[in-house]
Amino acid sequence: MQIASYMKHGHEWMIAVFLLSGAILFSNVVHGIAFAIIKQRRKNASPQQNATRPSIHSHLNHPARWVFLTICLLSIFPWLPIPAHIGQPLRLALHILLVVLVGWFAIGCVYVMQDVVTRRYDIKAENNIRARRIHTQMQVLRRLLIGFIVVIDIGCILWTFPDPQLWHYGSGLIASAGLATVVLATAAKATVGNLLAGLQIAFTEPIRIDDVVIVQGEWGRIEEITTSYVVVCIWDLRRLIVPLSYFIENPFQNWTRDRSDLLGTAFLYTDYSVPVAAIREHFAKVLEASPLWDRKVCSTQVTNLSEHTMEIRCLLSARNASEQFDLRCIVREEMVRFIQENYPDAFPRTRFVSLPESGGPASLPAPASLKS
């Protein structure tokens, strides 16, 4: 009898091992075939097609593998010779694991959706205003969707437990959600304000990813927009962290709000003797020789006169802020070199006039206030 019982249990466990091996093999084969087809199609496509295709393999490869495996394990679970006191908690653990993995897979799908939309808009293009708008909106929308998926996933995990009392607590928690919302909104006023500011920024677009801005007197580019703050990459590679609400409540400069081309100035302060026509002619030659000039604005004007100098403004235009800054530096260097070589006496100077020897201070008439 014992031999027969051992043989029976051994036979059951052999079947269990066979089913487990088959489930693991089947899930890996299905996963391998599906993603091999996706990878092959991407490999056979042209670079232009791949540039606009979402990265399904990188975002969904790992979560899909574990989802397939968990589903296969649950499908063979009724045929496994596991005692009831072990099998029930193990089945519950597998169900919870499946819910978590499906949430992971859903988050991967959100990233794929973002790729589908944003890969058609190159943020590195010269005229990238629409691309920056789409990238900004999708970044905010992605974070909101991921937060929503996490909340739904937690709710599904709670509903997985076969405990009516736990469901009762969950219903009470939902019933008190209104009061909890008021309390949380009061306690986390800044956080809620930043969240609402993020939605407002995403759709009213005062700033976008890669916008050139002046914030707190610092020149930089919008590098990242999160649900609570904005990261501004300053020109010297420092990062300025600014709350989202700042861009709603405070004025700031956005140099690329509607278009990226800008005007720039280079001021020259010279003596009255310098010929303005020659300055104007050489300034035009400097711009013509530079690839940074967009060939739209080239103007030289005398904008101010003082008792010692003449202010000459060289007005120029460029495709973006970086090229404008470099072009202004080039213009200053070239114009100073031109004046040094051709009109060295035309730089600002202070003149002193000496009085004749016979007219020294002693011979000057005394002021009226000193007369007796």
pTM: 0.53
Confidence check: pLDDT of 356 > 80 = no
Q: 220-245 burial, b for 16+ CB within 10 Å, e for fewer?
A: bbbeebebbbbebeeeeeeebebbbb
Our CA angle for 282, 293, 209, nearest 5°, is 150
Place of tokens 């031109």: 338
Q: Smallest Cα–Cα separation from 227: which of 195, 261, 253?
A: 195
Confidence check: pLDDT of 279 > 90 = yes
- The pLDDT of 280-296, averaged and rounded, is 94
Nearest 10 degrees: Cα torsion 286, 291, 295, 297? -60
Q: Which pLDDT belongs to residue 41?
A: 75
The percentage of residues in the chain with a pLDDT greater than 90, rounded to a whole number, is 27
- Name which of 44-58, 175-189, 338-352 the model is least confident about: 175-189
Count of CB atoms situated within 10 Å of the CB of 319: 18
Q: Find the helix packing angle between 129-160 and 84-118, rounded to 10°.
A: 170
187 versus 267: the higher-pLDDT residue is 267
Whether 216 and 210 have beta carbons less than 8 Å apart is answered as no
341 versus 191: the higher-pLDDT residue is 341
Residue type (1 letter), 340 = Q
Mean pLDDT in the chain? 79
Give tens-digit pLDDT for 12-56.
667 777 778 888 888 888 888 888 887 777 776 666 555 555 678
Confidence check: pLDDT of 57 > 70 = yes
Q: Which pLDDT belongs to residue 89?
A: 80
Q: Which pLDDT belongs to residue 173?
A: 45
Give tens-digit pLDDT for 231-250.
999 989 999 999 888 888 89
Domain positions in the chain are: 2-120, 262-346
Give dist(CA 91, CA 31) in Å, integer: 23
DSSP 135-200: HHHHHHHHHHHHHHHHHHHHHHHHHHS--HHHHHHHHHHHHTHHHHHHHHHHHTHHHHHHHHHHHH
107 versus 350: the higher-pLDDT residue is 107
SS (H, E, C) 102-131: HHHHHHHHHHHHHHHHHCCCCCCCCCCHHH
The CATH number corresponding to 262-346 among 3.30.70.100, 3.20.20.70, 3.30.230.10, 3.30.465.10 equals: 3.30.70.100
Whether 34 and 58 have beta carbons less than 8 Å apart is answered as no
Confidence check: pLDDT of 93 > 60 = yes
- The pLDDT of 122-140, averaged and rounded, is 76
